[in-house]
């Protein structure tokens, strides 16, 4: 991303930093993992200006590995909003600021993957990655957020939940600024140079989807489809869409199939008919 020159020259204490973190069902959005919790904290000059935090119903189970980290259960997510229901509020919370995250490409990749099926463009903003900063500025035995915080003398508190990690990332960033500013860094441009340059914001190509799929994804509705297999067999199914993925040749609908009681993948060009069912789950 090309950062506007006027951003680069802003003194650090006048930069609106938006600390950002997500908890997820697994490690890779390309394999269908999704956001299950998100938090954003806006600060400037050491003062908190606002925060946003919510659990998110991912419409898929949390993997055992993810649960061991974040301890989020299906019961915790009962009644939580879908990502489509919180997308605009989250984008408002992230707008007009410099995003800060620890291992920012991970969080940004999940955010981009969630926004694309909804037709929302990925937010374009300067990004500070505290992981990149500590790798270049310090020699800690481990650069995990918890270890970095302890090495900088911070109380880690509860770890691996979105809001607590956002608060800890803020503490790490402010400790880095306090430690390194006396050595010459004074602007956002200096911070970005210290981390090795701009963090690329993922650009997920948005493919226009049939309105029925967009509505089902955004509002958690079931979808009726009439599908023809590679052998020519036609079946009628009720599915719960999870996401649309694929490459340059074909797009695939990943969904939970009520008929098979399992996750299935359907090639979009083989769906002969579709329509949403029921009301939004508010």
DSSP result, 253-273 = EEEEETTTTEEEEEEGGGEEE
Select from 3.30.420.10, 3.20.20.10, 3.30.300.30, 3.40.50.300 the CATH code of 5-194.
3.30.420.10
**Cα 223 to Cα 244: distance, rounded to the nearest angstrom:** 13
Give the pair of three-digit tokens for residue 261: 């009681």
Q: Which residue has the tokens 């707008």?
A: 95
pLDDT of residue 247: 60
> What are the CB-based long-range contacts (under 8 Å, 24+) for 2-9?
2/198, 3/126, 3/189, 3/192, 3/198, 7/98, 7/126, 7/188, 7/189, 8/187, 8/188, 8/189, 8/192, 9/187, 9/188, 9/189
Domain boundaries, the chain: 5-194, 211-277
In tens, the pLDDT along 112-153 reads: 989 887 878 888 889 999 999 999 999 999 999 999 999 999
Decide if 102 is catalytic: no
In tens, the pLDDT along 155-178 reads: 887 778 999 999 999 999 999 998
Q: Is 86 helix (H, G, I), strand (E, B) or coil?
A: helix
Question: Does residue 4 have a pLDDT over 70?
Answer: no
Q: Which residue has the tokens 């974040």?
A: 70
| Averaged pLDDT, 196-220 | 78
Q: Closest Cα to residue 43, out of 172, 133, 170?
A: 170
pTM of the model: 0.76
Is 225 within 8 Å of 239 (Cβ atoms)? Answer: yes
Which residue has better confidence, 29 or 36?
A: 36
Instruction: Using CB atoms within 10 Å of the CB of residue 261, give its burial: 0 to 12 exposed, 13 to 18 middle, 19+ buried.
Output: exposed
**158 phi, psi to nearest 5 deg:** -85, 130
Choosing from 53, 120, 160, 219, which is the catalytic residue? 160
Query: Which of 18-22, 124-128, 273-277 has the largest mean confidence?
Result: 18-22
**Cα 190 to Cα 198: distance, rounded to the nearest angstrom:** 11
CATH topology of domain 211-277: SH3 type barrels. (2.30.30)
Question: Does residue 282 have a pLDDT over 60?
Answer: no
């Amino acid at each position: 991303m090309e950062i506007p020159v006027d951003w680069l020259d802003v003194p650090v204490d006048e930069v609106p930093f938006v600390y950002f973190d997500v908890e997820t069902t697994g490690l890779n959005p390309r394999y269908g993992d999704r956001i299950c919790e998100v938090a954003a904290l806006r600060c400037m000059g050491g003062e908190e200006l606002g925060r946003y935090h919510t659990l998110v119903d991912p419409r898929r189970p949390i993997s055992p590995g993810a649960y061991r980290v974040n301890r989020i259960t299906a019961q915790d997510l009962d009644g939580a909003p879908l990502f489509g229901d919180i997308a605009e509020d989250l984008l408002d919370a992230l707008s007009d600021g410099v995003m800060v995250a620890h291992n920012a490409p991970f969080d940004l990749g999940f955010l981009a993957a969630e926004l694309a099926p909804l037709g929302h463009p990925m937010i374009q903003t300067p990004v500070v990655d505290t992981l990149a900063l500590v790798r270049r500025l310090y020699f800690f035995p481990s650069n995990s957020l918890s270890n970095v915080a302890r090495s900088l003398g911070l109380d880690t508190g509860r770890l691996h939940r979105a809001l607590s990690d956002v608060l800890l990332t803020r503490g790490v960033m402010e400790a880095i600024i306090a430690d390194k500013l006396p050595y010459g860094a004074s602007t956002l441009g200096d911070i970005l140079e210290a981390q090795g340059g701009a963090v690329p914001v993922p650009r997920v190509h948005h493919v226009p989807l049939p309105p029925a799929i967009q509505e089902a994804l955004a509002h958690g509705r079931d979808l009726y489809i009439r599908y023809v297999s590679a052998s020519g067999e036609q079946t009628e199914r009720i599915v719960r869409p999870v996401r649309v993925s694929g490459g340059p040749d074909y797009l695939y609908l990943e969904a939970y199939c009520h008929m098979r009681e399992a996750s299935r993948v359907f090639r979009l060009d083989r769906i002969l008919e579709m329509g949403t069912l029921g009301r939004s789950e508010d």
